[in-house]
Structures are given as C-alpha cells and as structure tokens.
Amino acid sequence: MTEIEAPTTVHLAVYDTLADWETGHATAWLVRAGYTVRTVGPDDRAAGETVTTLAGIRVLPDLTLADLDPADSALLILPGAEKYDEGDELAPFTAKARAFLDAGVPVAAICGATAGLAREGLLNGRRHTSAASFYLDATGYAGGKHYVEADAVTDGDLITAGPTEPVAFAREIFARLGAYEGKRDAWYRLFHDSDPAAFAELHADDDA
C-alpha cells in the first residue's frame, strides 16, 4: 500500500504528559504509506533524556525543537498533553507551529494542543475545532467565531481535532498529505465505524 516513492518525514512532538491515544492511528498509517516519523522533544532536555507520556511510557526524542526546520518536514503533529493546561512550558512548540504555518508546511493539533495554538493566536483567523468551544474560550483567544462543531477540521495548512477523535484526526492528515487516495473512506469506515466491508476495500490491491 506504499503511496510515495521516497519517504517524507513527518515530525511528531513529544513532551511530558502527552496523550498516548491521540496520534497512533495517524503515525502508524503514515509509516505504512511510506512516510518516516521522527519525534521532536523539548530543548531543555539533556542528551539521552526521555519524556514520559500519560501512560508512563518513556520516549527518547530523535531531535530537539531547536533542530527542527520546517523545510525538512512534511507535517508537524502536536498531540494533546496535560501540560498545555498547566502553564507555558509547551509554548515553544506552538511557536514552532507558527513557523511551520508561515513556511506553508502543515500543522496538525489535537486536544490540549489546540489550546496552545489558541494562546499563540493561530486560531484567530482559521476555522478550527477542539474538545469544546468553552475550552478554547478559557484561553482568552479571539477566534471563537471560527470554531466549528465537528470531529476534525482542516483550514488550509492547519488541522485540528478534539481528544475523542483520533480517527477523524488521522483522516484529515491523510487527506492533507494526499495519502490513501481512493481508500480514505474505507479506512475511516473500518476504524471509526467498525465496518467489516471496509477491510476488503482498504486491502483490495495489496496482492496486486
């Protein structure tokens, strides 16, 4: 099911309290489509120091935020994390998201990361969604009129979703990157709706 001839790098932000369930569908299936996923950690970590997810899983980042150049990336994924609601520790990641969007490179944010984008001002003029409208309103942002009640929303280079919609989040990412053309509907029906017929559709050309 390879979609591209040469792997293109997708960068996944990793930080303490990362919500484990939110990006697995996207990253696993991007790799199956021929992409490479590299993890990006905070600048303040010593070499060899891990970050710890909500599940207690330790992740050793491939590179630090300072080493991340939008020109080297197809997409930046920002998972949710409790730390987005605890202060400004993750603000450098949303600042990097601004650099990506300014460079015309897509950003996908889910759950708490959408609040980080709101504080950064990146949702003030873009259609977006999140866990709930009042969650983003609490950030004091000016983009409330652009909030959309939907599982996931794409506005140009920005993808947003709430914490209960990792499958819809992945579908929007695939669409933005052009992955699984002609098969995204089957993929979504399989993983979101548990439609058994979708499995055959998704894998119809595997032995071709």
Q: Count CB neighbours of 49 within 10 A.
A: 12
Contact, 179 vs 162, CB < 8 A?
A: no
Q: Which of 111, 113, 136, 158 is catalytic?
A: 111
Nearest CA-CA partner of 17 in 79, 75, 63: 79
Tokens of 160: 């947003």
Distance separating alpha carbons of residues 161 and 159, to the nearest angstrom: 7
Active site annotation includes 111: yes
Amino acid identity of 157?
Answer: D
Tokens of 180: 């699984």
CA pseudo-torsion sign 126, 131, 178, 34: positive
Amino acid identity of 22?
Answer: E
CA 166 to chain centre: 9
Catalytic residues: 111
